[in-house]
A and B are shown apart, each in its own frame.
Chain A
Amino acid sequence: MAQMTYRDALRQALREEMLRDERVFLMGEDIGAYGGSYAVTKGLLDEFGEKRVRDTPISETAIIGAGVGAAMMGLRPVVEIMTINFMLVALDQVINNAAKMHAMFGGQFNVPMVIRTVGGGRRLAATHSQNLEPLLAHIPGLKVVAPATPYDAKGLLKASIRDEDPVVFIEHSLLFSTKGDVPEDDYVVPIGVSDIKRRGRDVTIVAHSRMTVEALAAAEKLAQQGIEAEVVDLRTLRPLDMGPVLDSVARTNRVVIAGEDWKSFGIGAEVAARIQEEAFDYLDAPVLRVNQAEVPLPYAANLEKLAIPDRDDIVKACLEVLHIQIGSPAAVS
C-alpha cells in the first residue's frame, strides 16, 4: 500500500471522483492556479479545466449558496471554504439552507454537496484557528465529517461526494503533511461509522480529527507505564456512531474524551452525555474531557501552547480516571 500524505489522499479522492462522475465540480477561493491554500487542489485546474475547477471571488455566501443551487439541479458541487472561520459569514446558507432544503421541500429535492473546509491552526490567533465543528454537528440535516488519517480522509471524502445530503467535511490544518497507508484503488469509508484505532483494556480515549493523533501518541506513552489505552476515532460527528465507544467503555470502564474544540457544549459534552445515558453502569470513574482553554486563542506562542491540548494532557486525564497518582508506578492489571 502507498504511503501518502493527508493532503495527497484528499487530492486523490477529488480526482478519482471527478473522473468517475462528470457532475462533480469544484469552487472556491484560490483553488485553481494556486492549488488551494493548503495545496489540496494542486494540478486539478490543469487536468480538468476552468469549467470544473472554478476560482471564486471572496464571497463565501455566494460560494455555498451557489453550491446549494447547483446541487439541487443535480450537479455534485464540492466547494472549498478556505478555513472554517471564513464560513461563519455564510452560516445562513449552511444552516438555514443547505441543511433544511430537503425538509422544506418535503423531501422532493436533495442537496448533494460537500463543503470542504479546514479547522485548527497555529500562530493565526483568535479568528483564524478555530475548531467550530460543534456548531455544525448541532444541526439536523447536515452530515459532519472530521477525518484524522490519510486513509480516512480519502475514503470519507469519496463517500461524502457520493452522498445525497450536504456534508461539511472538516480537514485539520496540522494534518495535511501527516502520512499513512492509502490504497491506490477505489474505496470508501462510510459516513457515520466510528473506528477503533488502537486496542486496549484499561481506558478508552475518544477523539476526532487531530486529537486522534494525539490520543494515539498518549496511548504510546501510557503503554510505557503498562497502561493499555483504547483509542476510538469518531471520524464522523453527525450522525454520531456511539457503537464502538459504548463497546469499548463496557470493557475499560473508564473514558477520556479529547477534542481541540472548547469543552462547553462541545463534541465531548455530547459523547459524555450519551455514555451516561447508555453505559452508566459500566463506568468506574467520571468521564473526563480534554479540550482547548476557553478563551479566544491568543497569537503569542507561549499562551497558545498553554491553550491547546496535547498528548500530555490526555495522559494526565487517563491517569486521573485510573486513579493513578502522576509519577507513581502504574498499578493497573
Chain B
Amino acid sequence: MENRHAALGLTDQDVLEMYKKILLTRMFDERTWILNRMGKVHFVISGQGQEAAQIGAAWALRPGKDWVLPYYRDLGVVLTLGMTVRELMLMNFAKAGDPNSGGRQMPSHWSHVGLNIFTGSSPVATQLPHATGIAYAAKLRGDDIVVWTSFGDGTANKGDTHEAMNFAGVHQLPVIFFCENNGYAISVPKDLQMAVDDVATRAAGYGFPGVVVDGTDVFEVYRVTKEAVDRALRGEGPTLIEAKVYRFTPHSSDDDDRTYRDPEEVARQREHDPVRKLREYVLAHGILTEEEDQRLKQEFEAEIDAAVEYAEAAPDPDPSDLVRHVFAQ
C-alpha cells in the first residue's frame, strides 16, 4: 500500500492520531445508540460512515483559533478539535455540566466556547450565514483566521445556503463551506433534491472554487481542506468542498430508514467503511499493530464507560435556572 500521508506533510504520529479520532468517533456514536435503546439517552443523530470526511477536514483547522460551525452529524469534527468524551456524554445526558449549553440545547447541536465551536438551530442551514458573518468580522478586524462550516446535501437546497455563499463570494471572505453529501435529506434522495450531480458545481455561481472529494478518504479530504484554508488565509476567498459520503445509520433515533432505502444498499456502502479503510492503512504502514489496535479499543471502551458513569451521576440543570439566559445578565 502506497504511503500517501508523507507527501501531505503528515507524520506517522499524525496518522495514528487521526486513526484514534476515527475509532473513538465510531465507538462513541455506537455507544450513544445503545444508551438510546436502553432509554437512557433520549436522542441520537449520527454520522457513522461520514467520519473520514469529518476528521480529514478538522485536521486542517487550528483548534481554538479558527471558527467552526459544524452540523449535527459532526461528532468526528468536534472530537478532533478537542471536545472530550466526558463533555460529550454530559451533552447526551443533558446535564448541568454540559459545556455545550448546560442541557438547554439538543444533543449534537455542538458548541464549545474555548474551541470556537458555534451552535446551530434545528431548522437546517442557519449556520451558513453565521459562518459568513464571522468571516466578515474577521476580515474587517484583520484577524488571521478561517471559518469552516458544514452541512448536508439537504441543506444545500435552502435559500439561506445560497444567500450565505453569495455574500461570502461578493466579499471574498475566509470561509470554507463543507458539504457532507450522503445522498439523502432524511428520506428524500438526491435526484429529488437537485438537478445537478454535484453540489460543488454551484460554487461557480458564487465566484469561488467548488471541489468534489471522496469523503471516505481522510487524506484527500485533509488535502483539499488544507488548500482551502491556505487560499482563505491568503485572502483569496471562500471554497465550497463537497465530500461524497454515505450515512450508515437512520437519520436519527426517531427514523426507520428501511422505508426509503434498501438494506442491501446500506450493506454495499458499508464495504467502504472509512474506519476500516484507515485501520487497514495504519496496519499496512506499521503505524499500529493488531495488538495495539485491540488495546486502543479497550482503552476507549473504558474511557466511554467512565464518561457514561460520570455523566449519569452528574447533577441535572438546577430547576431554579429555568428562566435564566433569556436575556444577557
Residues of A within 8 A of B (CB): 29-30, 32-35, 37, 55-62, 85-86, 88-89, 123-128, 293-296, 298-303, 306-307
Q: What are 10 A-B contacts defined by CB distance under 8 Å?
A: A57-B154, A57-B193, A58-B154, A58-B155, A88-B123, A89-B158, A123-B43, A127-B123, A300-B94, A303-B319
A79 → B minimal CB distance (Å): 15
Given A33-B259, A57-B188, A59-B159, does the pair A296, B104 have CB atoms closer than 8 Å? yes
Q: Which of B113-145 contact A (CB under 8 A)?
A: 121-125
CA distance A125 to B259 in the complex (A): 27
Q: Which residues of A contact B193 (CB under 8 A)?
A: 57-58
Are A33 and B187 within 8 A (Cβ)?
yes
Query: Does B157 lie at the interface of the complex (its beta carbon under 8 Å from any beta carbon of A)?
Result: yes
A30, A60, A299: the one contacting B188 at CB < 8 Å is A30
B327 → A minimal CB distance (Å): 10
Given A61-B159, A296-B104, does the pair A85, B188 have CB atoms closer than 8 Å? no
CA distance A50 to B88 in the complex (A): 42
A-B contact sample (8 more), CB < 8 A, given A57-B157, A127-B121: A30-B187, A34-B259, A55-B188, A58-B125, A128-B106, A299-B104, A299-B105, A301-B316
Query: Does B313 lie at the interface of the complex (its beta carbon under 8 Å from any beta carbon of A)?
Result: no
CA distance A38 to B260 in the complex (A): 15
Closest to B43 in A: A123
Q: Which residues of B contact A35 (CB under 8 A)?
A: 259
Query: Does B317 lie at the interface of the complex (its beta carbon under 8 Å from any beta carbon of A)?
Result: yes
- Count of inter-chain pairs, beta carbons less than 8 A: 115
Are B104 and A125 within 8 A (Cβ)?
yes
Query: Does B87 lie at the interface of the complex (its beta carbon under 8 Å from any beta carbon of A)?
Result: no
Q: Which residues of B contact A298 (CB under 8 A)?
A: 103-104, 317, 322
CA distance A294 to B158 in the complex (A): 30
Are A299 and B322 within 8 A (Cβ)?
no
Residues of B within 8 A of A (CB): 42-43, 94-95, 101, 103-107, 109, 121-125, 154-155, 157-160, 185-188, 192-194, 259-260, 316-317, 319, 321-323, 325-326
Are B122 and A125 within 8 A (Cβ)?
yes
A238 → B minimal CB distance (Å): 24
A-B interface, 5 closest residue pairs, ranked by CB to CB distance from nearest: A300-B103, A34-B187, A57-B157, A128-B122, A300-B94
B188 → A minimal CB distance (Å): 5
B15 → A minimal CB distance (Å): 36
Closest to A90 in B: B159
Are B94 and A299 within 8 A (Cβ)?
yes
A89, A128, A301, A307: the one contacting B160 at CB < 8 Å is A89
CA distance A303 to B60 in the complex (A): 39
Which of B95, B125, B192 has most A Cβ within 10 Å? B192
Closest to A86 in B: B123
B122, B154, B322: the one contacting A293 at CB < 8 Å is B322
CA distance A69 to B252 in the complex (A): 34
Which of A29, A57, A299 has most B Cβ within 10 Å? A299
Are B186 and A124 within 8 A (Cβ)?
no
Q: Which residues of B contact A294 (CB under 8 A)?
A: 323, 326
Closest to A305 in B: B319
B43, B104, B194, B260: the one contacting A303 at CB < 8 Å is B104
Q: Which residues of A contact B157 (CB under 8 A)?
A: 57-59
A119 → B minimal CB distance (Å): 14
Are B104 and A300 within 8 A (Cβ)?
yes
Q: Which residues of A contact B317 (CB under 8 A)?
A: 298, 300, 302-303
Closest to A121 in B: B122
Are B186 and A303 within 8 A (Cβ)?
no
Are B326 and A296 within 8 A (Cβ)?
yes
Closest to B326 in A: A295
Q: Which residues of B contact A293 (CB under 8 A)?
A: 322-323
Are B106 and A57 within 8 A (Cβ)?
no
Closest to B186 in A: A30
Q: Which residues of A contact B187 (CB under 8 A)?
A: 30, 32-34, 55
Are B104 and A124 within 8 A (Cβ)?
no
CA distance A207 to B174 in the complex (A): 51
CA distance A302 to B188 in the complex (A): 35
Are A29 and B185 within 8 A (Cβ)?
yes
CA distance A63 to B317 in the complex (A): 39
Are B323 and A295 within 8 A (Cβ)?
yes
CA distance A32 to B260 in the complex (A): 9
Q: Which residues of A contact B121 (CB under 8 A)?
A: 127
Q: Which residues of B contact A126 (CB under 8 A)?
A: 104-105
Are A303 and B322 within 8 A (Cβ)?
yes
Closest to B122 in A: A128
Q: Which residues of A contact B316 (CB under 8 A)?
A: 300-302
Which of B42, B125, B325 has most A Cβ within 10 Å? B42
